[in-house]
Amino acid sequence: MQVDLLSPWWIRDVEIPTRLVLAPMAGVSVQAFRRQGRRFGAGLVCSEMVSCAGLQHGNERTLGYLRISSDERPLAVQIFGSEPGVMAEAASMVEDAGADLVDINFGCPVRKVTKTGAGATLLEDPERACAVVAAVTDAVSVPVTVKMRRGLANGSRSCLDLGPRLVDAGAESLTLHPRSAKQMYTGEADHSLTAELVEQVDVPVIASGDVTSRARAQAILATTGAAAVMVGRAAQGNPWALREIVEGDAGPPTREEVVAELILFMRETVRELGEHRSTGFLKKFYGWYLGRGRFPRPFKQELVQLETLDEVEARLLAAAPGAAEILAGLEADQPDGEDDVVLDLPISIYGGG
């Protein structure tokens, strides 16, 4: 039976208008990415990981600070750490900044995170994991959610032991990426575990992993009973994938549409991060947007070699002059950013979970 991906659902008292969630991805999920995701059909968007260690170590300054605006809502802000008290304090700050949900990362497999006892490590430390969730739940009035992997080792079923306990501790929704931390992003996500988790808990479960098309999303929802699917890497430089999943095949974007979206993304990122940080940050996006046969490889390599973003923009518009009109329309619809709140917590660039 097909699920209506445009139907709303709820995490406690937060209404989410579609069954598609845009994943939190470190070094990717800046405000421009989240806003774009909402425009293309994501019902819920998530920030990249916010390091709670920044509360204790004031000199920790990584990519930038989290900027939150009302037009992103509903918005989940993801925090990571292993100390219940510090996590609770961070969660309170996140709520004060306007987040609709506080998401806790129990899935990041990157060594810089796991060696601190945070991320996927907490899947094998259920007492501490539950203490973190309980502390965060007590500290905020908004719903608390958890994103996790199946476990640390290949074949682990830790998520099925821990999931119900996290719900008992206060989690209002669980996201499962059924790969092990050891797998990173290799192999396939085992969504039979997602189906088992759905049977064990009475809160919405979001299925993450290998959601790359509408057909795949429908199959996962139908076979697992999950409330929604989460899309991550498939949306990098490709927001049209979100539209295809939610609405059906709308056809590939034109070169002009690709260039317009990329330039808007560039300008919005500069507004958030500043010119200096944005110049290096944006380079990976050129390949993501212009790949998939949209532009020849030498063109992408040429952009990376340009010294300024103004030069990149000029070269893009020279390659697709019709993008200027599309871009003007997109910018006219952009919010002015006057209601943005800048959250004084450093964003992690360790890598996503």
Residue 32 contacts by C-beta under 8 Å, 6 or more apart in sequence? Answer: 264, 265, 268, 269, 272
Indicate if the pLDDT at residue 268 is higher than 70.
yes
Per the annotation, the verdict on 46 as an active-site residue is: no
Indicate if the pLDDT at residue 63 is higher than 50.
no
Which pLDDT does position 202 carry in this prediction? 97
Supply the DSSP symbol for 270. Answer: H
Indicate if the pLDDT at residue 59 is higher than 50.
no
pLDDT-derived band at 2, boundaries 50, 70, 90: confident
- Could you report the per-residue pLDDT of 142-177, keeping only the tens digit for each? 999 999 999 888 998 999 999 999 999 999 999 999
Beta strands 173-180 and 144-151, pairing class: parallel
Which pLDDT does position 64 carry in this prediction? 53
CA dihedral 77, 82, 85, 90 (to 10 degrees): -20
Q: What is the mean pLDDT of the segment spanning 303-326?
A: 96
- Catalytic one among 52, 108, 130, 159? 108
DSSP string, 162-176: HHHHHHHHT-SEEEE
CA 26 to chain CA mean position, Å: 8
Average pLDDT in the chain? 90
Q: Which residues pair with 75 in a beta bridge?
A: 45
Indicate if the pLDDT at residue 50 is higher than 90.
no
Percentage of residues of the chain with pLDDT beyond 70: 93
- The closest alpha carbon to 224, from 247, 205, 201, belongs to 205
Q: What is the mean pLDDT of the segment spanning 334-350?
A: 67
- Could you report the per-residue pLDDT of 206-242, keeping only the tens digit for each? 999 999 999 999 999 999 999 999 999 999 999 999 9
More confident site: 182 or 14? 14
Residue 64 contacts by C-beta under 8 Å, 6 or more apart in sequence? Answer: 30, 272, 273, 274, 277, 346, 347
Which pLDDT does position 57 carry in this prediction? 56
- Could you report the per-residue pLDDT of 88-138, keeping only the tens digit for each? 998 998 898 889 999 999 988 877 777 777 887 899 999 999 999 999 999
